[in-house]
Structure formats: C-alpha cells, structure tokens
Amino acid sequence: MIRQLAFCLSTGLLMSACTTTQVVVVKEPARYDRNNVSHQAEMIESTNPEEWMVRATGQGATTELALADAKRAVVWYVLFGGRTRMLQTQDDQNAVTAFEHEIFESAPTFITFESGIKGKRSEGGKTFLTKNYRVRVDQIRGFLESRNVIASQDEINEKLDLPIVMITKPTNGDEAFAATVIGDYFQSRGFEVNVVNNTDKTNSMVDSVLALEGEVDPAFSLAMSLGADVLVKVDAFGEEAKGKFASGQQGSVSVKAFYSTTGRQLAASTGFSAARVGAGSKALINEAANDAAERLSTAMQAQWRKELNKGRPLALVVTAASDIAKAVDEPLYDTVRGMCKAKRTVAGKTTFRYELRCNDIASGYDLYKAIKDEYSGPGAVNRLQDFNSMVILSIGYEDGADVNFY
C-alpha cells in the first residue's frame, strides 16, 4: 500500500513551500499459507530422527517481521520442500490446506535453537535475514497426525509392510560407527533391522544358489540368509571443507540400498555434517550418518510403496532330481506363472530360479505352500529352506538324498 503525505513550510498565513513524499506501508497477510511465506530454506543436517537443522531466509518491512517469516520458511521446508518433505503425496498436501495458517503461526513453538544472523540485505523496501534453525520435526508430525492430515508412523508402517533391512558393518572404524547410527535411525522409523559384521558366516546353500549366477557377494548371501528384503551398504569418511561458506572438518556418509534377492538398487543417498574446526570424527560421522539415513529412509519408503503396487518381490529357487528335471521344467513354469508375475533368471540342468511379483503371497513360506498345492508335474515338492523374501525347494528327491544346484 502507498500513501502520499504532504509537508508544507509556511510563514505566517502564507504557505511558501510544499513537498510530497511516498511512504511504503507493508501489510502482513491476514492468514498465512504456503503461497505467502518464504520458500528460501535448505537442509543443513538431520541432527537425529526428531530434529533437523535448517537454514532459512525471511523477508519483511522490519527485522522482526523478516525473522518471523524465516521461521515460517523452516516449517514450509519441513512440509513441502526437498526430497525429504513430510507431505510426500498430493493428497497429503491438499489435506493440510485447512490448517496452514495455524501451523505457520505456530512456527516458533517448533524451533528449539536459532543461530546468529548469517546474512542480511535490503531490497525493494524489504529486509532479508538468514539464520540457522533447529526444528523439531517430530512435533510438526504430531501436529499433522492429531488433525488427521497424515497417518501416524505406526499406521504407515503397518499398512506399507516395510521391508526387513540388513546393514553391513565394515571393519573400518568410521564406517562401522556410521552403520550402527544408521541402524538405530531405521529402527526409530519402524523398520526391522539387522546390523551384521562383514565377517559373519554365510549360508552354504544360499551361496550355492548365488553361485549359479557368478561370483558370490557375501553381503547378499547374509542378507538372504537373515530374511532381509533390502541390503544397505555404507561408506563413510572425513575431509577438509574449504570454500566461501565453510571451513574445518566435515563428515560424509554414502549409503546404497539393494534388493537382496536381485541385487538391483532400490535407493541411494549421501549425508553430510556441518563443517567444524576441531570437531572429533565420531561427532561428524554421527551427524552425516543421521542425514544420510533420513534421506535414504524417505526414499526407500516412497520407492517401496511403488514396488508393492507391482506385487511383493520374492525369489524362488527349485532344484529337481536329475532323472525328472526336464519333465519338471514346464509344469513348474506354468504353476509359478499362474500365481505371480514371473521372470526366469537361471535355468541349469536341474536348477531353476525365478524373480516373482506376487499380490497375494507375503513370504517365502507362503510361496512354498501355494506351489505345493498347485504343482501337478512329476515328483513331490519339498521345502529345503525359506526366508522372508526367498524360498528354496526340491522336487523329486528321496528323503536324505544330497541336493545339488547346477
């Protein structure tokens, strides 16, 4: 709004000079929403599963108004900004509309720390100010859950049927520490997690199955043996941060998640700590690992949801007695295709391996029971071993006979 004010100088009754000046009056919006708060915010680090550190810039006619807008920008970022935003779907973003003013007005209550001013400038009659803020994302999540904008984490986990995760723990000290931190983070998000040493003994039968496709990676063998759907590998290191905005030591953690049964990559992310002078490596790796875990868990949940829409991923390995192997092949293929989307990845003389997508079969054992009931070819179906996402069967072997995979 622009108002014109007239100022006059007079001598006695005679007006001698008048000037007119324009004063800009900035009016705060009556209600806050995603369109009238600052969007200038970025993640610095995920301090732990409950808190993020966010750098935000606000604008306003005064310093106080700019700082208040910066805090609203922090909330905007948690809700709508970046890959780790809390409102991932359009339905969630539509549902929050009725509560936007309330949540943006409550922004200061979600913030537990603010730094000194990191940047300041004036432009177009407005002041722009930048600060770092620590925000309680768990409190924002609770706000949304209490108003039925989003489901609780427990409800999401139950509905989504989250994958079982195995994290390899390298012998390197920093990487082993990062693996432990990431495992703790995933557990806090409702995942079932196993953190195992790279040196743990593998399952000989699983090794034999994997050898059909080439060199055996012990990490994948361990993951399948423990019934994990997803294998997470961790790399961590510290480095000197040099640049215009940062100096000192900085931790970095890179994580990749793979389907245990196929080796295909599900998701990947990299986390960083803030750059600090004189900080210990454990503190830096802890921050970077939490940041990486936040990004990876969010990406994994989104991708896993898409994958489950295609059907539950399962692996099937069948070895048949040599005298009936050829006769088993076709009826087995028809049986499997009749209950799941199937892709045959290995066909040896006596051994067959399938990658499956099943809508009504939840585990390796359920798959065994379904095949046992439906298979009509020669030989009896027996279960050798079953895991959460894989089952190994034999057909036509006599009790006690040695089983071979070739």
Encoded amino acid at 378, one letter = P
Q: Do residues 78 and 71 lie in contact, with contact meaning Cβ atoms separated by under 8 Å?
A: no
> At residue 153, does pLDDT exceed 50?
yes
Residue 359, by phi and psi: left (phi above 0), alpha (psi -120 to 50) or beta? alpha
Q: Check pLDDT > 90 for residue 102.
A: yes
pLDDT of 14 reads 41
Could you tell me the pLDDT band of residue 244, with boundaries at 50, 70 and 90? very low
Task: Tell me which residue of 385, 391, 390, 348 sits closest to 261, measured CA to CA.
Answer: 390
pLDDT at 79 over 90: yes
For 201-233, how does the pLDDT look when each residue is reduced to its tens digit (9 = 90+)?
Answer: 777 888 877 777 666 788 888 888 888 899 999
Of 63-77, 191-205, 237-251, 329-343, least confident by mean pLDDT is 237-251
pLDDT tens-digit series, residues 260-287: 888 889 999 988 887 777 667 788 888 8
Q: What pLDDT shows up at residue 119?
A: 94
Q: What is the mean pLDDT of the chain?
A: 83
Q: What's the predicted TM-score (pTM) here?
A: 0.69
Supply φ then ψ for residue 390, to 5 degrees: -150, 150
Over 60: is that where the pLDDT of 241 sits? no
Residue 357: partners with Cβ closer than 8 Å, 6 or more residues away = 310, 311, 312, 313, 314, 340, 341, 342
Q: Which amino acid is at 87?
A: L
Spatial strand order in the sheet of 165-169:
193-197, 165-169, 230-242, 247-259, 265-272
For residue 405, give the 3-state DSSP assignment. coil
Burial 358-384 (b: 16+ CB within 10 A, else e): beebebbebbbebbeeebebbbebebb
pLDDT above 70 coverage of the chain, percent: 86
What is d(CA 45, CA 54) in angstroms, rounded to the nearest whole number?
Answer: 7
The rounded distance, in Å, linking the Cα atoms of 204 and 221 is 9
Question: CA 280 → CA 47, 177, 251, 275, 394, distances in Å?
Answer: 16, 13, 10, 11, 54
Binning pLDDT at 50, 70 and 90, where does residue 307 land? confident
Residue count of the chain: 406
Contact predicate 312/361, CB 8 Å: yes
Q: How far is residue 142 from each of residues 45, 87, 103, 147, 151, measured CA to CA in Å?
A: 21, 13, 11, 9, 10
pLDDT band, very low/low/confident/very high, at 256 (cuts 50, 70, 90): very high
In this predicted structure, the answer to whether residue 18 has a pLDDT above a threshold of 90 is no
Q: Among the listed ranges 149-158, 242-251, 259-268, 309-318, which one has the minimum average pLDDT value?
A: 242-251
pLDDT of 5 above 60? no
Tell me how far apart the alpha carbons of residues 162 and 308 are, in angstroms, rounded to a whole number. 10
As a whole number of angstroms, the distance between CA 110 and CA 115 comes to 15
Single-letter amino acid code for the residue at 50 = E
Q: Which phi and psi angles does 274 have, rounded to 5°?
A: -70, 155
**How far apart, in Å, are the Cα atoms of 313 and each of 75, 197, 306, 335, 390?**
37, 26, 12, 17, 9
**Confidence check: pLDDT of 362 > 90:** no
| 173-188 helix and 281-310 helix, angle to the nearest 10 degrees | 50
Are 179 and 166 spatial neighbours (Cβ–Cβ below 8 Å)?
A: no
Residue keyed to tokens 């095949």: 371
